[in-house]
Amino acid sequence: MVIEQALSVMLLAASLLKGGMDVAMPDKNIDGTFFLINRSQMISEDYVPKTRITDLAGLSQSMREDAATALEEMFAAAKADGVRLATVSGYRSYSKQNTIYERKVASAGIEVADSYVALPGSSEHQLGLAMDVTKSTSSSLSSKFGTTTEGQWVAENAHLYGFIIRYQEGMEEITGYAYEPWHIRYIGKEYAKAVYKSGLPLDLYVSLHRMELYTYLVQQTNEVLP
Ligand SMILES: [Zn+2]
């Protein structure tokens, strides 16, 4: 796939543009679906989205209305394919995230905590747009989920319902997080399909778009490649 070859060019370009990327502003509408949140772009302690409890198998969790509806559609499609998924963790308030972060620092040290747990104010769970999912037979989250039938179904189909695997394998340096096949982020169907097709982590995709570099890089790569 050309896009896979384009990826290495883009990653190189991104490393050269690192300084610029840090100041690139993504979607400014926090209530939109394409809002970027990460370690360098954090949100206020006071931000509380309007959420509702999802009607799904697993632990009772809530999400924003648009994301909840999309996730219910996704779970129904999985079930139709014989794949049983369950919810583990959805919306989390700033203070809940703070508790989780501090607990992880105490039990595993700051380095491990920082690679798996978002600092309060930098979690997509506070946006109400992220859900941690797993097999319906388990409620623990592990990178092994990515190799299961359920995990593979999620990786191959989530974008059709507006979700992306936010922290991909091999992208740790860019996302700032370890591979999390269970953490899906709602960005809306159109964006999800485009981000999935690009193979890029959201941080990079958004930044390149902001700088209007994405189309340019794809064009350049297409010209160079045979
Ligand atoms: Zn998560």
187-198 average pLDDT score = 92
Clarify whether 180 is annotated catalytic: yes
pLDDT of residue 89: 95
Whether residue 26 contacts residue 206, with contact meaning beta carbons closer than 8 Å, is answered with: yes
Decide if pLDDT at 25 tops 50: no
Q: Select which of 72, 111, 180, 212 is catalytic.
A: 180
DSSP secondary structure letters along 141-174 = --GGGGGSHHHHHHHHHGGGGTEEESS-TT-HHH
Any idea how long the chain is?
Answer: 226
For 11, which DSSP code? H
Whether residue 163 contacts residue 71, with contact meaning beta carbons closer than 8 Å, is answered with: yes
- Calculate how far, in angstroms, residue 89's C-alpha sits from the geometric centre of ligand 1: 7
Prediction pTM value: 0.82
Residue in the structure block whose two tokens are 């798996």: 116
- Calculate how far, in angstroms, residue 4's C-alpha sits from the geometric centre of ligand 1: 26
2-13 average pLDDT score = 62
Paired strand residues for 185: 130, 164
- Calculate how far, in angstroms, residue 132's C-alpha sits from the geometric centre of ligand 1: 5
Alpha carbon 34 to chain centroid, angstroms: 11
pLDDT of residue 22: 36
- Calculate how far, in angstroms, residue 176's C-alpha sits from the geometric centre of ligand 1: 13
- 62-83 pLDDT, tens digit per residue, is 999 999 999 999 999 999 999 9
- Calculate how far, in angstroms, residue 223's C-alpha sits from the geometric centre of ligand 1: 39
Tokens for 104, please give them: 């992880």
**CATH number of 68's domain:** 3.30.1380.10
- 34-51 pLDDT, tens digit per residue, is 899 998 889 999 999 999
Domain count, the chain: 1
Alpha-carbon gap, residue 206 to 34, rounded angstroms: 8
- 83-139 pLDDT, tens digit per residue, is 999 999 999 999 999 999 999 999 999 999 988 899 999 999 999 999 999 998 887
Domain containing 146: what range?
2-224
